[in-house]
Amino acid sequence: MRSARILLAALGAAGLAACADQQAMAPAATPAAAAAPAPAGPPQGAAVAETMQRTAVVETVNMQERSVLLRGDAGSQNGVLVTLKVGPQVRNLAQIKPGDRVVYTVTDAVAAVFARPGDGAAPEGAGVLATRAAPGQRPAASLTVGNRVRVRVDSIDLGRNSVTFTEPDGRQRTVRVQDPAMRRFMRTLSQGDMVDVVLIETADLRVLPPA
């Protein structure tokens, strides 16, 4: 997840940050998965997702440092320059050359559901799934990172559409909620409720064939 957030920040794309670190939840500009309509009874959870795709051009490749210098905005002279550290999931780094066009897609999703008492789940959990191109193919990689954190609701301010909660490590956070589905869910919460917040981030990177 950290590497995908570096991509988002460096190339000027606004994804959904971790709920514990963000000060506002913005509605998805290009939803990848719309939240289901509210049922007749109180909603048991809510989800929101955002997908962003950008094209960049490779400026330089440093094999010793396993880093690639990219120019965003499809190589425009005004495009933001960013150095991308390439992990082992990109095994065909030697095939990347200056001038190559790179497409990357990042999807961020946040879901919040009531935690079930006595379900045995730990306060926090994480998982990683990575795929990569076969040897000889054009460089490509996909990385999906999921994190779950169980928080305790301390207070709800409906006038400000904000929720204050405590994380497993004892830190207290206040989040202003703007997404309609999340607001509906927020209105079902009470002080002392336990909520599982699940964050899933997927980043796909591939080198395009020559134009």
Burial class (CB in 10 A: 0-12, 13-18, 19+), 167: middle
**Tens digit of pLDDT for each residue in 94-146?**
888 899 998 878 888 999 999 988 888 888 898 888 788 887 788 887 888 89
- Provide the number of structural domains found in the chain: 1
- Strand 172-177 and strand 24-25: the pairing is parallel
**Tens digit of pLDDT for each residue in 3-50?**
333 333 322 222 223 333 333 333 333 333 334 444 445 567 888 888
Closest CA to 154 of 179, 168, 180, 173: 173
Structural domain harbouring 56: 2-207
